[in-house]
Amino acid sequence: MRSVRWFSRGVIALAVAAGVACTSPTLPLPPPAQPTVSVGSEPNTFRLKSERGAIPNALIVVVNRNELLPRDQRVEGTLADELGSWELEIVANAGDTVDISQEDGTTRSPTTTIVLK
């Protein structure tokens, strides 16, 4: 009888520990590495490229802070490949500030901010 109680207590303790582990916060997603920046293929565009600078298969979101651009031109996105590499061309002007973040599921990273030159 005593061993049954100890076993029952052990099962309850294990269930409580598992429940707490499931509700504990996950580690924060790191910001993506700063990409290389080059002139884009069209006027007023820039190409951003990062080799293994994101987590694999992350959603990369780039937001241009220039409020003079139309809203539909201020946000671009792409998916990193299985190595965390990505490339994207954005509408922007020299001097614009852009914020780059990565998302994995419902988790979003802090931004990497760069000024385009």
Handedness of CA 108, 58, 53, 49 (dihedral sign): negative
| H-only helix segments in 54-93 | 71-74
Higher pLDDT, 11 or 72: 72
pTM over 0.75: yes
Output DSSP code: residue 61: E
- Res. 64: pLDDT tops 90: yes
Average pLDDT, the chain: 88
We report the CATH number of the domain holding residue 100 as 2.60.40.10
- Has residue 21 been placed in a domain? no
- Res. 114: pLDDT tops 60: yes
What is the rounded CA–CA span in Å between residue 41 and residue 58?
A: 25
Output DSSP code: residue 15: H
Question: Which domain covers residue 82, as residue numbers?
Answer: 36-115
The stretch 66-81 carries a mean pLDDT of 97
Number of domains comprising the chain: 1
pLDDT of residue 27: 80
- Has residue 87 been placed in a domain? yes
> DSSP string of 102-116?
EEETTEEPPPEEEE-
- Has residue 41 been placed in a domain? yes
- Give 15-57 pLDDT, tens digit per residue: 555 555 555 456 899 999 999 999 999 999 999 999 999 999 9
- Has residue 23 been placed in a domain? no
Residue 1 CA, chain-centre distance (Å), reads: 54
Q: CA geometry: angle at 31 spanning 91 and 107, to 5°?
A: 100
Residue tagged 């809203």 (tokens): 71
- Has residue 28 been placed in a domain? no
pLDDT of residue 3: 60
- Has residue 15 been placed in a domain? no
